[in-house]
Amino acid sequence: MGLPMRGALLKTEAGRDFNMAETHSLQDMRQQAAIAAKVYVQRDYSTGTICQFQTKFPSELENRIDRQQFEETIRVLNTLYAEAEKLGGKSCLEGCLACVTAYTVFLCMETHYEKVLKKIARYIQEQNDKVYTPRGLLLTDPIERGLRVVEITVFEDRSS
Protein backbone atom coordinates (compact mmCIF):
# COMPACT_ATOMS: atom_id res chain seq x y z
CA MET A 1 0.00 0.00 0.00
CA GLY A 2 1.55 3.31 -1.06
CA LEU A 3 1.45 6.68 0.62
CA PRO A 4 -1.55 8.93 -0.02
CA MET A 5 -1.19 11.43 -2.83
CA ARG A 6 -0.33 15.01 -1.96
CA GLY A 7 -3.56 16.88 -1.35
CA ALA A 8 -5.50 13.70 -0.53
CA LEU A 9 -8.02 13.79 2.29
CA LEU A 10 -7.54 11.45 5.23
CA LYS A 11 -9.49 10.89 8.41
CA THR A 12 -7.76 11.88 11.64
CA GLU A 13 -8.05 9.89 14.85
CA ALA A 14 -10.93 12.18 15.79
CA GLY A 15 -12.67 11.24 12.51
CA ARG A 16 -12.24 14.63 10.87
CA ASP A 17 -11.08 15.10 7.28
CA PHE A 18 -7.45 16.09 7.04
CA ASN A 19 -5.83 17.50 3.92
CA MET A 20 -2.44 15.93 3.19
CA ALA A 21 -1.24 19.12 1.46
CA GLU A 22 -1.59 20.90 4.79
CA THR A 23 0.39 18.12 6.44
CA HIS A 24 3.23 18.51 3.98
CA SER A 25 3.50 22.26 4.59
CA LEU A 26 3.58 21.68 8.37
CA GLN A 27 6.16 18.91 7.91
CA ASP A 28 8.25 21.27 5.77
CA MET A 29 8.06 23.89 8.53
CA ARG A 30 9.08 21.36 11.17
CA GLN A 31 12.07 20.24 9.06
CA GLN A 32 13.27 23.81 8.62
CA ALA A 33 12.74 24.90 12.20
CA ALA A 34 13.42 23.56 15.66
CA ILE A 35 10.87 23.85 18.42
CA ALA A 36 11.98 26.61 20.77
CA ALA A 37 9.03 26.48 23.17
CA LYS A 38 5.41 25.58 23.65
CA VAL A 39 2.97 28.11 25.07
CA TYR A 40 -0.27 26.96 26.68
CA VAL A 41 -3.38 29.12 26.92
CA GLN A 42 -5.42 27.69 29.80
CA ARG A 43 -9.18 27.25 30.06
CA ASP A 44 -11.11 30.07 31.70
CA TYR A 45 -13.47 28.72 34.36
CA SER A 46 -14.53 32.15 35.68
CA THR A 47 -18.03 31.77 34.20
CA GLY A 48 -18.47 28.06 34.86
CA THR A 49 -17.52 24.96 32.93
CA ILE A 50 -18.40 26.18 29.44
CA CYS A 51 -15.51 25.73 27.04
CA GLN A 52 -13.65 29.02 26.81
CA PHE A 53 -10.01 30.01 26.99
CA GLN A 54 -8.20 32.89 28.70
CA THR A 55 -7.52 35.89 26.47
CA LYS A 56 -4.52 37.00 28.55
CA PHE A 57 -1.57 37.54 26.21
CA PRO A 58 1.34 35.17 27.00
CA SER A 59 4.65 36.99 27.46
CA GLU A 60 6.41 34.26 25.44
CA LEU A 61 4.67 35.55 22.32
CA GLU A 62 5.99 39.11 22.66
CA ASN A 63 7.67 40.24 19.40
CA ARG A 64 6.11 37.23 17.61
CA ILE A 65 2.47 38.23 17.19
CA ASP A 66 0.36 41.30 17.77
CA ARG A 67 -1.56 41.25 21.05
CA GLN A 68 -4.85 42.22 19.35
CA GLN A 69 -4.46 39.46 16.75
CA PHE A 70 -3.88 36.85 19.47
CA GLU A 71 -6.85 38.07 21.53
CA GLU A 72 -9.08 38.09 18.43
CA THR A 73 -8.13 34.47 17.66
CA ILE A 74 -9.01 33.36 21.20
CA ARG A 75 -12.25 35.40 21.19
CA VAL A 76 -13.36 33.75 17.94
CA LEU A 77 -12.50 30.30 19.32
CA ASN A 78 -14.49 31.07 22.49
CA THR A 79 -17.46 32.21 20.40
CA LEU A 80 -17.33 29.07 18.25
CA TYR A 81 -17.16 26.77 21.28
CA ALA A 82 -20.13 28.63 22.82
CA GLU A 83 -22.02 28.07 19.56
CA ALA A 84 -21.17 24.35 19.67
CA GLU A 85 -22.44 23.98 23.24
CA LYS A 86 -25.55 26.11 22.75
CA LEU A 87 -28.68 24.19 23.63
CA GLY A 88 -31.34 25.00 21.10
CA GLY A 89 -34.24 23.41 19.28
CA LYS A 90 -31.95 21.68 16.80
CA SER A 91 -29.89 20.06 19.56
CA CYS A 92 -33.04 18.88 21.35
CA LEU A 93 -34.42 17.46 18.10
CA GLU A 94 -31.11 15.65 17.48
CA GLY A 95 -31.32 14.15 20.98
CA CYS A 96 -34.91 12.98 20.54
CA LEU A 97 -34.16 11.54 17.11
CA ALA A 98 -31.15 9.74 18.57
CA CYS A 99 -33.29 8.13 21.29
CA VAL A 100 -36.00 7.06 18.84
CA THR A 101 -33.46 5.47 16.47
CA ALA A 102 -31.26 3.94 19.20
CA TYR A 103 -28.54 6.41 18.15
CA THR A 104 -28.20 4.83 14.69
CA VAL A 105 -29.19 8.18 13.19
CA PHE A 106 -25.64 9.38 13.89
CA LEU A 107 -24.32 6.85 11.37
CA CYS A 108 -25.83 8.95 8.58
CA MET A 109 -25.79 12.50 9.94
CA GLU A 110 -23.46 14.83 11.80
CA THR A 111 -24.49 16.49 15.01
CA HIS A 112 -24.49 20.26 15.40
CA TYR A 113 -21.48 19.88 17.72
CA GLU A 114 -19.49 17.92 15.10
CA LYS A 115 -20.28 20.53 12.45
CA VAL A 116 -19.02 23.34 14.67
CA LEU A 117 -15.86 21.36 15.54
CA LYS A 118 -15.13 21.12 11.79
CA LYS A 119 -15.72 24.88 11.51
CA ILE A 120 -13.22 25.42 14.36
CA ALA A 121 -10.65 23.17 12.66
CA ARG A 122 -11.02 25.19 9.43
CA TYR A 123 -10.65 28.47 11.35
CA ILE A 124 -7.48 27.24 13.10
CA GLN A 125 -6.01 26.08 9.78
CA GLU A 126 -6.82 29.47 8.24
CA GLN A 127 -5.22 31.31 11.19
CA ASN A 128 -2.12 29.12 10.94
CA ASP A 129 -1.81 29.78 7.21
CA LYS A 130 -2.39 33.54 7.38
CA VAL A 131 -1.15 34.63 10.81
CA TYR A 132 0.74 32.10 12.90
CA THR A 133 2.95 30.04 10.54
CA PRO A 134 4.49 33.11 8.83
CA ARG A 135 5.57 34.26 12.32
CA GLY A 136 7.15 30.93 13.26
CA LEU A 137 4.18 29.81 15.37
CA LEU A 138 1.78 26.91 15.13
CA LEU A 139 -1.67 26.92 16.73
CA THR A 140 -2.88 23.43 17.71
CA ASP A 141 -6.58 22.58 17.70
CA PRO A 142 -7.71 22.37 21.35
CA ILE A 143 -9.64 19.17 20.56
CA GLU A 144 -6.25 17.48 20.13
CA ARG A 145 -5.44 18.42 23.75
CA GLY A 146 -8.77 17.32 25.19
CA LEU A 147 -10.16 20.89 25.17
CA ARG A 148 -7.90 21.64 28.14
CA VAL A 149 -5.54 24.15 26.51
CA VAL A 150 -4.77 26.00 23.31
CA GLU A 151 -1.21 24.98 22.48
CA ILE A 152 0.99 27.36 20.50
CA THR A 153 4.31 25.96 19.31
CA VAL A 154 7.08 28.53 18.91
CA PHE A 155 9.63 27.54 16.27
CA GLU A 156 13.23 28.68 16.20
CA ASP A 157 14.53 29.32 12.69
CA ARG A 158 17.55 27.09 11.95
CA SER A 159 18.64 29.15 8.96
CA SER A 160 19.79 32.07 11.13
Per-residue pLDDT of 8-26, as tens digits, reads 333 444 444 444 445 445 5
Counting runs of H as helices and runs of E as strands, what totals does the chain give? 4, 5
Q: Which secondary-structure segment (H or E) carries 112?
A: helix 112-127
Strands (E), 4-136: 9-11, 17-19, 33-42
The reported pTM is 0.76
> What is the end-to-end Cα distance of the chain in Å, rounded?
39
pLDDT at 159 (0 to 100): 53
Cβ atoms of residues 40 and 151 within 8 Å: yes
99-121 tens-digit pLDDT: 999 999 999 999 999 999 999 99
